[in-house]
Structure 1
Amino acid sequence: MGADDEWLREALAPAVLGRRRVFCCHSATLSGKHAPNSLAAVRECVEAGVPRLEVDVRFTADDRMVCYHDGTLERHSTGAGSIAELPALSLRAITYRKTGEPLAFLDEVVEAVAGSGTMLQVDLKLNRPISPARVHALETALRPLGANVIVGSQSPWNLRKLSAVPVAFDPTLFLNYTAGRRQAPYPRQRGLHGFWDDSPLARNPYTSARDYLEARIDELHGMVPAAREWMVDIGTVLRMAELGVLLGEELAQRGIELAAWTLKARDPLEATLARLWAAGVTTVITDVPGAAAAACAAGRARAGVS
C-alpha cells in the first residue's frame, strides 16, 4: 500500500468532534473507473482498505441475488427487462454498457470482502414481503462476513424477518424531507413542518416541530426495534437539525447509529459534512469518498484539529 492509499484509508475513517466517523463507498464507487456495484469496483474498494462499502441487492426470478441498483436493466446495461422476472443464468451474459464489466452476484461480493476488514452494507431492494426462502438465502450468503455486514431497507416488514444479520432502517417510505419533491406513492402528504409524512401528527397544528419529530422517531423506532442503524437521506437529517432536532443524538439515546445518504460531487462537501457531523451522523454514504475525505480533512485543518 502506497502513501496515497494509506492516507485515503485513514481519511475515510476520521475522528471528528471526538467520535470516529466513516465514509461509505456508495455502490462500491471509489475511483469511478468501474461500474457501480460491479465486482471490479468492490475489489478496488477492498484493496484500498476502505472501512465500508455499499452494494444494491435484488433477487432474480430463481431467488439468486444480483448487485444492481435499478429494477430494470435497460438504463445501464446491455440487458432488458425486470431483474425480478429473469433467472440468474440469463444475467450472466449481461454487461454494463460503459465499461463492459459483468454484473456481480452477492456471493462473489461476499467472497471478495470476507476477511478484509471492510464492512459490507447491503441495500436490499425489495419492498414486497420477503419469503422464508429468500431470508434463508440472504442470511446464508452473508454468513462468512460475521458481524462485519449490515442490511439496510426501507421495508420494516422485511427487516423484522432477518435475525442472523445486523439491520439498518431507512424511514423514507414513512417520513422524509425533499425540497422540490413531486407527489410520490409514499408518503402522499406533506405535513406542516415540510416533511412528507402520512401520519396524522404531521398535520396537527397544536404540535410543535420538536414534539412532532420526537414522537415520530419513537414510532418509527418501534417498527424495527432491532435496527442498529438508521440510514436517512441528507435532506431529512439537515431539515430536522434546522428545527432543533439532532437526529443522530436522538438515535444515540436509543443505542442506534445514524448513516446519511448520499453525498454527491455537486454538494458543498465541507459545509455539508460539518452540518452532518453536528447532527450526530456517524457514517456518510457518498459517491465521492476521496473528495469527501479531503473536504473533511480540510475542515479539520481549518478548525485547527490535527
Structure 2
Amino acid sequence: MDVDDEGLRLALLPEVAGRRRTVCCHSAALSGAHAPNSLEAVRECVAAGVPRLEVDVRFAADDGLVCFHDASLDAQTTGAGRVSDHTTFALRAVTYRSTGESLALLEEVIDAIRGSSTVLQVDLKLNRPISPSRVERLEQALAPVASQVVVGSQSPWNLRKLSRVPVAFDPTLFLNYTPGRRQAPYPRQRGIHGFWDDSPLARNPYTTPQQYLEARFEELRGLVPAAIEWMVDIGTVFRIADLGIALGDELARYGIELAAWTLKERDPVQATLERLWAAGAATVITDVPLAVAAALRAYSAPVDVNPG
C-alpha cells in the first residue's frame, strides 16, 4: 500500500461493530523508510494523513524535550551514554546509524503536526517524579496542539501533575501479564491468576479472577482519575479477555478508552485486530500500520469521520 494512498487515513479509522476505531503509528513508523521518532518519520505520517502517531519523549540535561525511545544512545545512534546526561545542543549532533537522520525535538514534531488532523500521542519516558519546571516546559511546548494531543505514562505520580493536556495511563508497573518474564523491580510478585501484581489481592485464593480484576481496575483508576485512556499491552488485554472481561468495555463504563500496544510485524494482523476489537479496544498502536490498513480493508468498511 502506498503511503500517499488517499484512502489510507480512512483505512486507519475503521468502523467496527458500530464503533469508530483508530490505528496509531508507533514511534511515528509508517513506511519504515525513516528512523523511529525522527522528524522525517513524523512528517511522512502527517503528509499521509494518519489519524494518530506516537513519539517517545525524554528530557535532556538542560530540560530540552527530545524524541527518543531508549534511555541510552548507544544501540541506535552515533552518540553514547544516557540521553539525560547530554544537553539539547549536544544531542542535536547525534544521528541514527540506520538513516543518518538527526534526533528530533518535541517542538519540531509539534510544528510538523500543527494544522493537521493527526493526533499526537506523547509517551513520557520519565519514571522519577517530574519537577514543576519540567511540567511547565512540557505543557507549554504542547500548548499549540493541546486539542489534538494525549500524554501517556506508566508513572501516575507524573500524570497527576499535568493539568493542561489530556493524559493516558499505562498500568504496566502495577499490573501486567507477561509469561516467562524474569524477575523485575516492579511488580515483583506473580499472582495466582498469572498477572504480575504486587497487590495482596493478587495472591488471595478466595477471590475469583473477575472479582480480583474488577477490584484492581477500581484501584488503578484512582491513581489517575483524570485519565481519558488506558494504554495496555496486547498480552495483558488478551489475558483479561480470557478471564471473561472485555477491558475496553469495562473502562468505557467510566468514560475511559482503551489503547492496546503494540501490534508488531510478527503478529497475525487480522486475528489480533479481531480479538482487540472484541475486547473493546478503541485504538491499536502498531509498528506496521500499512499492513494493518490492508487487513482492515479486507474485512471492514472504513468511515470518513470528517466528511467534506
TM-score range, shorter chain: over 0.9
1:226 aligned residue: 226
* Helix, strand or coil at the partner of 2:241: helix
1:172 aligns with 2:172: yes
**How many pairs are equivalent?**
300
The answer on whether the counterparts of 2:4 and 2:48 sit within 8 Å (CA) in structure 1 is no
Counterparts of 1:112 and 1:298, CA distance in 2: 31
RMSD of aligned residue pairs (Cα, Å): 1.1
The percentage of counterpart residues that share the same residue type is 72
Counterparts of 1:232 and 1:61, CA distance in 2: 30
2:293 aligned residue: 293
The answer on whether the counterparts of 1:270 and 1:298 sit within 8 Å (CA) in structure 2 is no
2:241 aligned residue: 241
2:190 aligned residue: 190
Bigger CA drift: 276-285 or 291-300?
Answer: 291-300
* Helix, strand or coil at the partner of 2:57: strand
The answer on whether the counterparts of 1:55 and 1:121 sit within 8 Å (CA) in structure 2 is yes
Counterparts of 1:294 and 1:28, CA distance in 2: 18
* Helix, strand or coil at the partner of 1:5: coil
TM-score, normalising length from structure 2?
0.96
1:304 aligned residue: none
Counterparts of 1:205 and 1:186, CA distance in 2: 22
- Superposed, 1:84-99 pairs within 5 Å as 84-99=84-99
How far has the Cα of 1:4 moved from its partner?
Answer: 5.4
Counterparts of 1:3 and 1:249, CA distance in 2: 32
2:304 aligned residue: none
How far has the Cα of 1:276 moved from its partner?
Answer: 0.3
How far has the Cα of 1:3 moved from its partner?
Answer: 9.7
How far has the Cα of 1:146 moved from its partner?
Answer: 2.4
Counterparts of 1:115 and 1:184, CA distance in 2: 42
1:39 aligned residue: 39
Counterparts of 2:180 and 2:272, CA distance in 1: 19
How far has the Cα of 1:296 moved from its partner?
Answer: 2.2
How far has the Cα of 1:184 moved from its partner?
Answer: 1.1
The answer on whether the counterparts of 1:39 and 1:108 sit within 8 Å (CA) in structure 2 is yes
Counterparts of 2:99 and 2:87, CA distance in 1: 23
Give the aligned residue type for 2:195: F
Counterparts of 2:139 and 2:300, CA distance in 1: 39
* Helix, strand or coil at the partner of 2:54: strand
2:140 aligned residue: 140
Give the aligned residue type for 2:173: L
TM-score, normalising length from structure 1?
0.96
Counterparts of 1:288 and 1:269, CA distance in 2: 9
2:203 aligned residue: 203
Moved over 6 A (4+): none
Change (3 A) 1:3 1:89: closer
1:274 aligns with 2:274: yes
Greater relative contact order (CA < 8 Å, ≥ 6 in sequence)? 2
Deviations 1:126-172 (A, max 9, x none): 00000000000000000000210000000000000000000000000
How far has the Cα of 1:300 moved from its partner?
Answer: 3.0
The answer for unaligned runs of 5 or more in structure 1 is 302-306
* Helix, strand or coil at the partner of 1:123: strand
Counterparts of 1:57 and 1:145, CA distance in 2: 16
1:51 aligns with 2:51: yes
Give the aligned residue type for 1:162: L
Counterparts of 1:264 and 1:283, CA distance in 2: 15
The answer for unaligned runs of 5 or more in structure 2 is 302-308
* Helix, strand or coil at the partner of 1:94: coil
Bigger CA drift: 66-75 or 290-299?
Answer: 290-299
Give the aligned residue type for 1:67: C
Counterparts of 2:25 and 2:269, CA distance in 1: 15
How far has the Cα of 1:297 moved from its partner?
Answer: 2.4
Counterparts of 2:19 and 2:6, CA distance in 1: 20
Counterparts of 2:166 and 2:233, CA distance in 1: 20
Change (3 A) 1:3 1:165: closer
